[in-house]
Amino acid sequence: MRKKKMLWLAVILVLAVLAWRYGLSAAGLVAGLLVVALAALYAVQWLFAGMGMGKLRQLRAQYGLDVMAAELIRREGDADTFRFVVLGDTRNNVAVAREVYGRASGEQPAMLFHTGDIVRHGTPTELLRNHVALLDITDPAPMFCVPGNHEQGARRDFAAFRALYGGDRFSFDYGGCRFTGFNNCTKGRGIVREDDLAWLDAELGKPGAAHKYVFMHIPPAYFEATFVSDTHRRGFTRNAAAFHALMQKHAVDEVFMAHIHGYASTVMDGVRYTLTAGGGAPLSGRLAREGQAYNYVVLRVSPGGVQRTVVRGFGDDWTRQDEGGTVPSQ
């Protein structure tokens, strides 16, 4: 967003210089040509947004969210001891994503979760080339994804993501844990709608889970305020208090998010909020130094509780740190 603002400021500055040197007519002509060019670009993107959608729909038989959850249970059974990995914001950086996926696969997880911004523009071609093509690295462990704002696509409808995954929500139980993810990037802005709250309340309220984990892309502003060095907020505020109350009501162990590139984690009123957005996107200078790292989080679930390990990459140097486990399963 900051880059876009700087670009538009540069355009305005250039137009101002043109108006000063050559008159308003010249500046108006350049501005008009710029508008036409941008309109043509968006029109082309919109028209070609559907290319490759058929291939994604075919792959849904393998990567559909419901399909992967059912296959996980069929292949692994309902184990009481297992690992899962959470990562996010790969955003077309295939080189770093390969590194992160490879290291994450080495943890031998039963499953992985991606907190969104998988690719840059949300096109079918990107998902096929820069995401699906990498999933062999983590195979046979499935990767459950929630969409980020960059998965909107040219038509702002998340069509390519939904074509591949069959939807933009999931909720399933495995090994005494409930894993619940949803799209909170409607129209590109962080938002938790009333129907999202109702769905979360219903899913998290179902009996039978000793541990509960929630996945979404954009963090709430109240969590963002705990780890950034400025007063600017990219997190959502609408229904934020209601969302936090719901996490408390259902004793959610941890909420995983992305959007602000790096790592941060804190516990608020008994609920751990974790930013894991270090899968390849440019790291944010708004975070503390230790948070400006490529990263993923490993959780080991057993009858004795949950062990959390944060894996961070600073250049070629990768470190591991145990951080904030939870109480034993009941």
Concatenating the DSSP letter of every residue in 194-242 gives HHHHHHHHHHHTSS--SEEEEE-SSPBHHHHTTTBSSS---SB-TTHHH
What's the pLDDT at 3? 63
CATH no. of 53-322: 3.60.21.10
What mean pLDDT is reported for the chain?
A: 91
**Percentage of the chain exceeding pLDDT 90:** 76
Q: What is the pLDDT of residue 186?
A: 84
The model's pLDDT over 14-66, given as tens digits with 9 standing for 90+, comes to 778 777 888 888 777 777 777 776 666 555 555 555 668 999 999 999 999 99
- Do residues 271 and 252 touch, judged by C-beta distance below 8 A? yes
Given a cut of 80, whether residue 130 has pLDDT beyond it is: yes
Among positive and negative, which fits the CA dihedral 167, 247, 278, 5? positive
**What is the percent of the chain where pLDDT is above 70?**
91
Specify the pLDDT at position 50.
Answer: 65
Between CA 16 and CA 38 the distance in angstroms is: 19
**What are the start-end ranges of the H helices in the chain?**
2-22, 24-47, 53-63, 65-76, 94-105, 124-130, 159-165, 194-204, 221-224, 240-249
pLDDT-derived band at 69, boundaries 50, 70, 90: very high
Strand pairing category for 263-268 and 271-276:
antiparallel
Angle CA(140)–CA(125)–CA(70) in degrees, nearest 5? Answer: 30
